[in-house]
Amino acid sequence: MNADGRTRLNRTPEWTALAKHREELGEVRLRELFAADPGRGTGYTLRVGDLYVDYSKHLVTDDTLRLLRELAVATDVSGLRDAMFRGERINTTEDRAVLHTALRAPRDAVIEVDGENVVPGVHAVLDRMAGFAQQVRSGEWTGHTGRRIRNVVNIGIGGSDLGPAMAYEALRAFTDRDLTVRFVSNVDGADLHEAVRDLDPAETLFIVASKTFTTIETVTNATSARSWLLAALGDEKAVAAHFVALSTNAEKVADFGIDTANMFAFWDWVGGRYSFDSAIGLSLMIAIGPDRFREMLDGFRIVDEHFRTAPAEANAPLLMGLLGIWYNNFHDAQSHAVLPYSHYLSKFTAYLQQLDMESNGKYVGRDGREVEWQTGPVVWGTPGTNGQHAYYQLIHQGTKLIPADFIGFAEPVDGLSDELKAQHDLLMANFFAQTQALAFGKTPDEVRGEGVPEELVPHKTFKGDHPTTTILARELTPSVLGQLVALYEHKVFVQGAVWNIDSFDQWGVELGKVLAKRVEPALTEGADVPGLDASTKALVAAYRELRGR
């Protein structure tokens, strides 16, 4: 029994039943499953909003799915989900509510945290953001010298960078192409240098995005950006026209020198990696406009409602979460690939890495004890066709099981020439061919049938049975992007709920931050930092020597 009154996950009858089922199933052959059930290709599918989700190419039977759903019942996934939507403090280690779903709630919704309805505040900020975005887009908001803003540079890191940067890339076809929008995250000065080197300070707006406003990388980059601006404009007053802040921490924003009248707020119940539909999305809103931004929020909401209300058998985030658990915990899969067949989703997987790995990379359960089961997988991937010519070899013929999500669209985005549009079928032919090859492979007899010499037959044989989910939509619109992100947010939630971990804290990033602060004087001043281990001490000495210090 856990301290929270739960039987430890791996001792529940539902877990044991799954382990037994896995043993009994043995090597699952997808060819056999499809032969036995001609309806599988359409039966094992779901529709959520504009998304068509095909899970037929998974190593599961009806029994597997039923047992997985029973595990979700035993771990009370729906209870925790409802508590989240109600605004309860389910982030127990930080004693916070988890209400990113309130960021996309309709104006008339009532969601209370400690007796206060948070929805009016959400919409007040959205309205202010919309007003400001329109001013920048129309040229009404001018820089210190009266010139219109043509460049927007978001300075933030983690959730204050990955979300807006990913979404800006994803929705590029919907952006105002006269605006240059860039994202600076790395404390490596090269990042800011490259982002601003060809920009005119008089036409540049910096958006400093930081939930805490204490993140060293962001504060350092923002300070350097201010110096760059002031070196050109020469007047402290210029900061007011060229800097805005997105934060929960008004005091620190003011300390930095940004007028809090130029601050767009959010709240401690929005986790950093769940925040780009809050004020953190301001750069995106400026790029695509408030209407498109609201369409994106509507997309999020479609999947929120689906997750909250759809029955277990037809609940896509629940299903995707449980399928991940099937491989992670019962097939010893270590990783999960996300492979978008869209150039515009080039940053999608990097975004998901934080969403998933910062949420579920935990070895301590909600009860404070070490878990005895595997938690979050390594999430990785890049746009699919490029991956095909790099690492797909290992997925097809390597020794590891790598479940993968394939995300594709029926239509290319608007704005492509007819010739480039025509390439879309080739892109999607690859998309469909890959999941087919992964699932069904090529038998030795099929290889022999092609006249391949016997000694090459094993090399050219594909075992198949590599599981994939296919997610297909008509077009990558703002709404569809919102739907996709919410789908993954809730998938991650489901897994954290089953594994009994707090998916909403991130204590694991703290130690490195503290040590970096301690090591810095050793690098800069050669200070003798007490407690430095022998290896790090030697590395610091080598670094100083290389720098000629």
Give me the torsion for CA of 498, 504, 508, 514, rounded to 10°.
-170
Among 134, 212, 385, 443, binds ligand F6P (CB under 6 A): 212
Q: Which helix (H) or strand (E) holds 168?
A: helix 162-170
CB neighbourhood size of 540 (10 A): 17
Among 71, 136, 153, 157, binds ligand F6P (CB under 6 A): 157
Is residue 158 near ligand F6P by the rule CB under 6 A?
Answer: yes
Which range of residues in 153-161, 338-346, 417-425, 534-542 is near ligand F6P by CB under 6 A? Answer: 153-161
β-strand pairing of 335-340 with 404-409: parallel
Closest approach, Cβ 126 to ligand F6P, in A, equals: 19
Is residue 166 near ligand F6P by the rule CB under 6 A?
Answer: no
Residue least distant from ligand F6P (Cβ): 272
Which range of residues in 187-195, 207-215, 259-267, 477-485 is near ligand F6P by CB under 6 A? Answer: 207-215
CA 109, distance to chain mean position in Å, is 26
Is residue 195 near ligand F6P by the rule CB under 6 A?
Answer: no
Identify which of residues 315 and 506 has a Cβ nearer to ligand F6P in the complex: 506
Whether 358 sits among the annotated catalytic residues: the reply is yes
Footprint of ligand F6P on 225-264 (CB under 6 A): none
Which range of residues in 114-122, 136-144, 158-166, 186-194 is near ligand F6P by CB under 6 A? Answer: 158-166
CA torsion through residues 396, 398, 404, 407, sign: negative
Identify which of residues 272 and 387 has a Cβ nearer to ligand F6P in the complex: 272
Closest approach, Cβ 204 to ligand F6P, in A, equals: 21
Is residue 490 near ligand F6P by the rule CB under 6 A?
Answer: no
Identify which of residues 311 and 512 has a Cβ nearer to ligand F6P in the complex: 512
Which range of residues in 41-49, 197-205, 211-219, 480-488 is near ligand F6P by CB under 6 A? Answer: 211-219
Phi, psi of 30 (to 5 degrees): -65, -35
Rounded-to-integer distance, Cα 211 and Cα 88, Å = 21
DSSP string, 37-92: -TTHHHHSEEEETTEEEE-TTSS--HHHHHHHHHHHHHTTHHHHHHHHHHT---BT
Which range of residues in 23-31, 210-218, 375-383, 392-400 is near ligand F6P by CB under 6 A? Answer: 210-218
Question: What are 171's two structure tokens?
Answer: 């929705």
Identify which of residues 56 and 278 has a Cβ nearer to ligand F6P in the complex: 278
Closest approach, Cβ 156 to ligand F6P, in A, equals: 6
Rounded-to-integer distance, Cα 436 and Cα 470, Å = 11
Identify which of residues 456 and 516 has a Cβ nearer to ligand F6P in the complex: 516
Identify which of residues 355 and 471 has a Cβ nearer to ligand F6P in the complex: 355
Closest approach, Cβ 165 to ligand F6P, in A, equals: 12
Site string for ligand F6P, 272-301 (x = CB under 6 A): xx----------------------------
Phi, psi of 468 (to 5 degrees): -140, 150
Of 277, 302, 339, 342, nearest to 480 (Cα)?
A: 302
Of 331, 353, 341, nearest to 385 (Cα)?
A: 341
Quick check: helix, strand or coil at residue 339?
A: strand
Task: Indicate which residue of 24, 237, 370, 389 is catalytic.
Answer: 389
Task: Indicate which residue of 14, 217, 295, 358 is catalytic.
Answer: 358
Among 91, 101, 154, 160, binds ligand F6P (CB under 6 A): 160
Question: What are 527's two structure tokens?
Answer: 């200070």
Residue whose structure tokens are 């301690």: 518
Whether 389 sits among the annotated catalytic residues: the reply is yes
Is residue 91 near ligand F6P by the rule CB under 6 A?
Answer: no
Amino acid at position 228, single letter: W
Residue 148 forms beta bridges with which residues? 142
Quick check: helix, strand or coil at residue 379?
A: strand
Task: Indicate which residue of 513, 520, 525, 537 is catalytic.
Answer: 513
Site string for ligand F6P, 310-349 (x = CB under 6 A): ----------------------------------------
Among 57, 81, 182, 211, binds ligand F6P (CB under 6 A): 211
Is residue 509 near ligand F6P by the rule CB under 6 A?
Answer: yes
Which range of residues in 92-100, 152-160, 172-180, 366-374 is near ligand F6P by CB under 6 A? Answer: 152-160
Which range of residues in 212-220, 361-369, 404-412, 459-467 is near ligand F6P by CB under 6 A? Answer: 212-220
Task: List own/partner pairs for 124-132 with CB under 8 A and 24 or more apart.
Answer: 125/264, 125/265, 125/266, 125/278, 125/279, 126/294, 128/264, 129/264, 129/279, 129/281, 129/282, 129/285, 129/290, 129/293, 130/285, 130/290, 130/293, 132/244, 132/264, 132/282, 132/286
Rounded-to-integer distance, Cα 448 and Cα 458, Å = 10
Is residue 159 near ligand F6P by the rule CB under 6 A?
Answer: yes
The residues assigned a catalytic role are 358, 389, 513
Binding site for ligand F6P (CB under 6 A): 157-160, 210-212, 215, 218, 272-273, 358, 506, 509
